[in-house]
């Protein structure tokens, strides 16, 4: 298996790159999707969140009110740290299980926005970060996710800084350019990864 860690700040363009690489034959494991699974009703994460934060963050059916919890943790550093302490280990364990189920020849992409923050320790062959200036990311969040500018800035500030992601990465993709150019750059990287995977095998 050749394992690519794909990271980048919110609204930087990770999903665009991941979608292309899947078209080219990659198999994506999405950390955000795993994070939703581990806090579903009846999942271990949901029980631990209820213990730490209280029943008021759950609806009458027992489902986590993610929006209410997000409003708390993005304004309370200790609450954020506590939530991450619950969710991050569960997500990494889910990721390991998912990777173990893949074929040995797979080109696997682990898309993980919080690679730095969660101190992800999977056996990556390469790590790629997708980066764009903060002002562009704020505009994307306002335009595509109906956030206010203040909400967008808060989300960005609650993530690792670009220099932290770049320091963990082997490659940086610049999404502060036209979509066609970004995709061309991503295709070039994929070709490099195929060569490396062949050498590895």
Range of the domain at 185: 2-196
Q: Order the strands of the 171-174 sheet from edge to edge.
A: 27-30, 107-111, 2-8, 126-131, 171-174
Per-residue confidence (pLDDT) for residue 146, from 0 to 100: 85
Contact 134, 91 (CB under 8 A): no
Residue carrying the six token digits 């940086």: 172
For residue 140, give Cα distances in angstroms to 15, 51, 114, 125, 144.
Answer: 13, 36, 19, 30, 6
What is the per-residue pLDDT across 3-35, written as a single tens digit (0 to 9) for each?
999 999 999 999 999 999 999 999 999 999 999
Per-residue confidence (pLDDT) for residue 157, from 0 to 100: 87
What is the per-residue pLDDT across 101-130, written as a single tens digit (0 to 9) for each?
999 999 999 999 999 988 898 999 999 999
Q: Which of 132, 187, 179, 169 lies closest to 10 in space, CA to CA?
A: 132
Residue carrying the six token digits 């991050």: 88
Percent with pLDDT over 70 in the chain = 100
Instruction: Tell me the C-alpha distance between 93 and 108, whole Å.
Output: 16
- Any domain includes 201: no
Instruction: Tell me the C-alpha distance between 79 and 52, whole Å.
Output: 9
Instruction: Tell me the C-alpha distance between 183 and 79, whole Å.
Output: 38
What rounded mean pLDDT belongs to the chain?
94
Answer whether residue 99 shows pLDDT above 90: yes
Per-residue confidence (pLDDT) for residue 94, from 0 to 100: 95
What is the per-residue pLDDT across 151-198, written as a single tens digit (0 to 9) for each?
899 889 888 999 999 999 999 999 999 999 999 999 999 999 999 999
* CATH number for the domain harbouring residue 166: 3.40.50.300
Number of independent structural domains in the chain? 1
């Amino acid at each position: 298996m050749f394992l690519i860690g794909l990271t980048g700040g919110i609204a930087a363009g990770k999903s665009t790159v991941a979608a292309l690489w899947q078209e080219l034959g990659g198999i994506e494991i999405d950390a955000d999707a795993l994070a939703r699974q581990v806090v579903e009703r009846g999942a271990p994460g949901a029980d631990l969140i209820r213990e730490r934060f209280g029943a008021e963050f759950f609806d009458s059916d027992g489902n986590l009110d993610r929006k209410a919890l997000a409003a708390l943790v993005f304004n309370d550093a200790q609450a954020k740290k506590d939530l991450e302490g619950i969710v991050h280990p569960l997500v990494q364990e889910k990721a390991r299980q998912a990777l173990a189920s893949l074929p040995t020849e797979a080109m696997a992409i682990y898309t993980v926005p919080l690679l730095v923050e969660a101190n992800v320790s999977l056996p990556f062959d390469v790590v790629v970060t997708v980066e764009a200036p903060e002002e562009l990311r704020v505009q994307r969040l306002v335009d595509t996710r109906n956030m206010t500018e203040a909400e967008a800035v808060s989300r960005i500030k609650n993530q690792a800084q670009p220099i932290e992601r770049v320091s963990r990465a082997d490659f940086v993709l610049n999404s502060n350019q036209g979509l066609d150019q970004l995709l061309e750059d991503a295709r070039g990287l994929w070709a490099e990864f195929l060569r490396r995977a062949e050498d590895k095998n």
